[in-house]
Amino acid sequence: MSEFRAERLAVLFKEELGSIMQRDLKDPRIGFASITNVRISRDISHAKIYVSVLGDKKQQQETMEGLESAKGYIRSELGKRIRLRYIPEIHFIPDNSIEEGAKVLSLINQIQKDEKENQS
């Protein structure tokens, strides 16, 4: 399989997963989560789905547990929406990059604020 095909499938998976999570999943454990990235292996046998969850550690843990329990349903929905002979095995991976970015921006803003106070 070509790497280009895997990349195209990753984009399609990301769109469909967002739709499934937003409209179809009714699990109360799943909080405000968004798909940040999807990586599909070259042989299209595995898909790593990076999920960013808004909330504290407990909410993040509950959301990941909810997604893990809904993995079979999500995979079957992907099979209905995307015409492939074989739907890859999906793996949910927590992505803290948005949270880390917010921390870095907060630190930068704090440094700028401290510099302005020291200049006054």
3-state secondary structure of 48: strand
Q: Does residue 46 fall inside a structural domain?
A: yes
Q: What is the dihedral of CA 53, 38, 46, 26, to 10 degrees?
A: 40
Question: In the chain, how many domains are there?
Answer: 1
Q: Is 70 exposed, middle or buried (0-12, 13-18, 19+ CB in 10 A)?
A: buried
Q: Does residue 53 fall inside a structural domain?
A: yes
Q: Does residue 79 fall inside a structural domain?
A: yes
- pLDDT, residue 119, reads 81
Longest dimension (CA), the chain: 67
**Domain carrying residue 28:** 3-95
pTM of the prediction?
A: 0.80
Sign of CA dihedral 41, 100, 15, 4: negative
Confidence check: pLDDT of 1 > 70: no
CATH code of the domain containing 8? 3.30.300.20
| pLDDT digits 0-9 by tens, 17-71 | 999 988 888 888 888 888 999 999 988 899 999 999 888 889 999 999 999 999 9
Q: Does residue 104 fall inside a structural domain?
A: no
